[in-house]
């Protein structure tokens, strides 16, 4: 990490312009969270402004008047910059010698690129620097993790198989409901009608309760799906993914005892969105008026996170096995290792979307649905 170019460690912050006011400079410093910022004019660093210089100016005169004055009044012309090709170790020496909290980074033509903070340098030298946020996904092949720019763990095949598995679980859940309906039909309980016929909507002269029964039976596939999700190993990988993400984001070492004590529930989990969608559909199914839809939206705003958390804890995750936890830890270690080599690495556009893992999952689901439709069509020709 010491030999890594400082250009890989850039912070892209809003800089102060030479024509800005002191008030704007004060706000930019507050938003950046840094004690000083460079003043940039035509892509070149021409000075710097510190919190202390602004504070001194504000306390010497009327603050409101000072805030409207040009920033040049508090600009220091003494600025030390680092070339983007300098190693982190070299920059550390420069910052120590000049007692710098922030150092602007420039290219070989002297153009401003970004800044590196003292905390970035020290964390990099300690090998503890971590991404600000990590997302992930559970797959049949293990845990997948990504920063949005860097990824690790289960690859594209695992993500594709995750989509396949989810669709197969849906098919299995519906199949179990139909199987239960067929078993009840063998007892001739609701003659002359059949539950399978009710499910297909093929009952002639059906009584009013048949439509309600059909809705209930179709809805029964949802809890069956949830039970399958809880029972299958993927829920253990899901928990391991959340626990590793918590450990990374809280700066904890990626060791089994530490990770095992992390929560299984994560507020950014996509399960929250799924739970919100299910609740919305349930409320919308009960009420069909516009007023009821507004009620549904109001309820979702205040309950989707709580509902999502309960869904994660009791349905979509379970205590991971040692093997599942190790899969998550290995993915986390691989992600951190790659991030520490290239902390400033960025991707945009389609690559950023691909790194979320959702396109692969959706592709797996779409292929499974296509195969399912082909099987149904073929079966219809013989039965």
pLDDT digits (tens, 9 = 90+) for 116-173: 999 889 988 887 788 888 999 999 999 999 998 899 999 899 999 988 998 888 888 8
Q: What is the value of pTM for the model shown? A: 0.74
Region 32-48: mean pLDDT is 92
Higher pLDDT: 2 or 133? It is: 133
258-316, pLDDT tens digit by residue? 999 999 999 888 655 655 555 565 555 555 556 656 666 666 666 667 777 888 898 88
Q: Looking at the structure, do residues 146 and 260 belong to the same domain, yes or no?
A: yes
197-219, pLDDT tens digit by residue? 766 666 556 666 666 777 777 77
Confidence of residue 93 (pLDDT cuts 50, 70, 90): very high
- Residue 86 domain boundaries: 6-125
Residues in contact with 224: Cβ distance below 8 Å, sequence separation at least 6, in sequence order:
172, 173, 176, 177
pLDDT of 170 reads 83
Q: Looking at the structure, do residues 61 and 178 belong to the same domain, yes or no?
A: no
What are the CA-CA distances from residue 340 to residues 344, 362, 366 (Å)?
A: 9, 31, 36
Please report whether residue 99 resides in a domain.
yes
Q: Looking at the structure, do residues 119 and 165 belong to the same domain, yes or no?
A: no
Please report whether residue 300 resides in a domain.
no
Please report whether residue 276 resides in a domain.
no
Confidence of residue 100 (pLDDT cuts 50, 70, 90): very high
Q: Looking at the structure, do residues 326 and 352 belong to the same domain, yes or no?
A: yes
Q: Looking at the structure, do residues 109 and 150 belong to the same domain, yes or no?
A: no
> How many structural domains are present in the chain?
2
Which of the listed residues 104, 125, 146 is the one where a domain comes to its end? 125
Which of the listed residues 125, 151, 167 is the one where a domain comes to its end? 125
Which of the listed residues 86, 107, 125 is the one where a domain comes to its end? 125
Per-residue burial over 101-138, b = 16 or more CB atoms within 10 Å of its CB, e = otherwise: ebbbbbeeeeebbbbbbbebbebbeeeebbbeebbbbb
Region 235-252: mean pLDDT is 93
């Amino acid at each position: 990490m010491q030999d890594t170019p400082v250009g890989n460690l850039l912070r892209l912050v809003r800089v102060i312009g030479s024509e800005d006011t002191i008030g704007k400079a004060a706000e930019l410093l507050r938003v950046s969270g840094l004690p000083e910022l460079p003043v940039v004019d035509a892509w070149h660093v021409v000075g710097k402004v510190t919190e202390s210089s602004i504070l001194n100016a504000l306390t010497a005169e009327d603050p409101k008047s000072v805030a409207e004055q040009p920033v040049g009044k508090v600009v220091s012309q003494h600025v030390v910059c680092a070339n983007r090709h300098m190693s982190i170790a070299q920059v550390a020496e420069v910052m120590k010698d000049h007692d710098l909290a922030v150092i602007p980074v420039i290219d070989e033509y002297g153009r401003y690129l970004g800044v590196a903070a003292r905390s970035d340098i020290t964390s990099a030298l300690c090998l503890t620097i971590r991404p600000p946020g990590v997302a992930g996904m559970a797959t049949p092949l293990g845990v997948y993790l990504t920063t949005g720019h860097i990824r690790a763990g289960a690859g594209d095949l695992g993500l594709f198989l995750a989509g396949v598995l989810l669709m197969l679980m849906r098919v299995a859940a519906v199949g179990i409901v139909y199987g239960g309906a067929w078993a009840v039909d063998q007892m001739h309980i609701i003659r002359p009608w059949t539950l399978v016929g009710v499910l297909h909507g093929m009952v002639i002269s059906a009584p009013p309760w048949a439509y309600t029964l059909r809705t209930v039976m179709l809805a029964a596939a949802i809890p069956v799906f949830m039970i399958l999700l809880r029972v299958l190993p993927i829920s253990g990988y899901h928990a391991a993914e959340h626990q590793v993400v918590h450990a990374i984001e809280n700066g904890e070492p990626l060791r089994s005892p530490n990770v095992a004590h992390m929560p299984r529930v994560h507020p950014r989990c996509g399960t929250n969105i799924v739970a919100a969608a299910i609740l919305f559909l349930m409320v919308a199914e009960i009420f069909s008026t516009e007023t009821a839809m507004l009620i549904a939206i109001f309820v979702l705003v205040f309950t989707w996170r709580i509902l999502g958390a309960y869904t994660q804890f009791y349905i979509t995750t379970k205590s991971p096995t040692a093997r599942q936890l190790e899969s998550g830890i290995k993915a986390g270690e691989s992600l951190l290792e790659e991030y520490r080599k290239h902390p400033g690495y960025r991707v945009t556009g389609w690559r950023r979307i691909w790194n979320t893992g959702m396109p692969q999952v959706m592709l797996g689901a779409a292929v499974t649905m296509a195969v399912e439709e082909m099987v149904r069509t073929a079966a219809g020709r013989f039965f």
